[in-house]
Structure 1
Amino acid sequence: MDSLKGTGFNPMPNLVDIAIPDSKDVLLRGLNYFTRNAEWLPEYEEIAAWLSGNNGRGLLCHGNCGRGKSLICWKIIPLLLNHYCRKIVACYDAQQMNADIDAVKAKHIIYIDDIGTENLSVKFGEKRLAFCEIVDEAEKRGKLLMLTTNLSLDEISQKYGERTMDRLVAITTRVKFKGESLRK
């Protein structure tokens, strides 16, 4: 394996490891900062476990709207990764991802909000499936993906195909958000 590294081919990509001490307490403090009197939900336990040791895997938060997926992944986790791990998260929504696929692919730690709301990317007649390309790139290069969506895992598979879903299963920890919206 080491002899291959000199050729530019890296058979074992450098994964992004995260280990934040007291992650449950830190996550709760982040929730309280943004929402005041946050209610601790069962799915937050899984997010805290991921923050305490992700084993090089990304995070796919899926399920019902209004449960805190975007707040946690767009506002809180990037702050925590910067503070505790000295890592910068490049944050995009699905439309931004589509508008500049190559810029997104160039980042190593990527958050994409609201997967499934984007259309096919068409520039100068060239059609591209931005999300599929980014997931493929993440698997090949060891990039850390954090994703949120209101789609179910089956809907993700239907929209993007079995191949992309299989890659997501391999490179992310999936957390299902269920229950009524907390927005008031």
Structure 2
Amino acid sequence: MNPQDKIDFHDVGQLTRQLTELTITPPRFSIEISPEEAYNGLLASITAEIAHRRHTLALDESTRRHLHEAALWIIDPKGKPGLLLMGTCGNGKTTLMRAIARLISFVSEKVLGYSQRLKPHLTTAKEVARLIAAEATRAEYNAVTAESLLFIDDMGAEPAEVISYGMVYNPLVDLIDVRYNRNLPTIITTNLTSKEIADKYGIRTLDRLRELMHVIPFTNPSYRQ
């Protein structure tokens, strides 16, 4: 060992900085705009998303709160890398998720250009389970788990276990483990409660979701009435 590279175990602060520099952690995804700009951008994006379905946005207090929380998450470079939209059916979780993806793609293309824009990958929990069920699509499943910005709709609608050629797979559990270990930004919607997540996937997965994701609860009634 070179004398200049001697480790000083008495200087904990310096040793911490040296060890931290060795840790390869991707920077937390964020958009560099103000809270007001992020809120207005999400409002425009969700309005466009709903118009695409030939509906009109109901801008009630619940929707404003959801937009506000999501806007703060989008611009926070030090926040949790994931976002979990939890609530019962029909109260706007999927619409907000798609609005977030639309805004990220639009803003990043305007700022970074088409070739460098952030490309959200949208899928469903059922599709994730389908990919791992067949050996022919296993590589595609692995690619999805490693996406730089992943959106998963309706966690809980898929089977917790998938058996393929005698092997038992846990598609969402395995995916969450990969995203957790790599600190990758992940946005998930679910109709499940925390207890139901623990019952279906195990307390370990629930614990990892809590560490990985900022939770936005959707307690408002369904808009599909």
Q: Kindly name which structure, 1 or 2, has the bigger radius of gyration based on alpha carbons.
A: 2
Residue 121 of structure 2 corresponds to: 90
CA offsets, 1:70-120, max 9 Å, x none?
1111x2111211122321111111111112232321312111110011112
> Which residue pairs with 2:41 in the alignment?
26
Structure 2 gap ranges (5+): 1-16, 51-55, 109-116, 132-140
1-structure distance, mates of 2:23, 2:157: 33
Of 31-40 and 61-70, the range deviating more from structure 2: 31-40
**CA-CA distance at 1:11 after TM superposition:** 3.6
How many pairs are equivalent?
179
* 1:44 paired residue number: 67
Quote the offset at 1:12 in angstroms.
Answer: 4.0
Amino acid across the alignment from 1:95? K
Of all paired residues, the percent bearing the same amino acid is 26
AA of the residue aligned to 1:48: A
2:209 is the alignment partner of 1:178: no
Displacement of 1:4: 9.8
Q: Distance in 1 between matches of 2:162 and 2:142?
A: 12
CA shift digits 1:20-52 (9 cap, x unpaired): 521111111122223324314223321122123
Q: Using the alignment, how far apart are the partners of 1:28 and 1:163 within structure 2? A: 35
Q: SS in structure 1 opposite 2:45? A: helix
Q: Deviations over 1:135-159 (max 9, x none)?
A: 1101111211100000112211221
The structure-2 alpha-carbon separation of the partners of 1:20 and 1:121, relative to structure 1 and needing over 3 Å to count, comes to: farther
CA distance in 2, matches of 1:15, 1:121: 33
The CA distance in 1 between the partners of 2:80 and 2:155, in whole Å, is 21
The aligned residue for residue 181 of structure 2 is: 140
Change (3 A) 1:134 1:145: same
**SS of structure 2 residue aligned to 1:16:** coil
Name which structure has the greater RCO, CA cutoff 8 Å, separation 6+.
Answer: 1
Question: 2-side partners of 1:107 and 1:176: how far apart?
Answer: 25
Instruction: Specify which of 103, 109, 118 is matched with residue 143 of structure 2.
Output: 103
| Distance in 1 of aligned mates of 2:195 and 2:32 | 31
Secondary structure of the residue that 1:114 maps to in structure 2? Answer: strand
TM-score normalised per structure 1? 0.87
The residue type equivalent to 1:82 in the other structure is S
8 Å CA contact 1:70–1:113 kept in 2: the answer is yes
Mapped contact 1:13–1:140 kept (Cα < 8 A): no
| TM-score, normalised by the number of residues in structure 2 | 0.72
Using a 3 Å threshold, how does the CA distance of structure 1 residues 45 and 128 change in structure 2: closer, same or farther? Answer: same
Aligned match of 2:198: 157
1:79 aligned partner, one-letter code: R
Q: In structure 1, what is the Cα distance between the partners aligned to 2:69 and 2:20?
A: 37
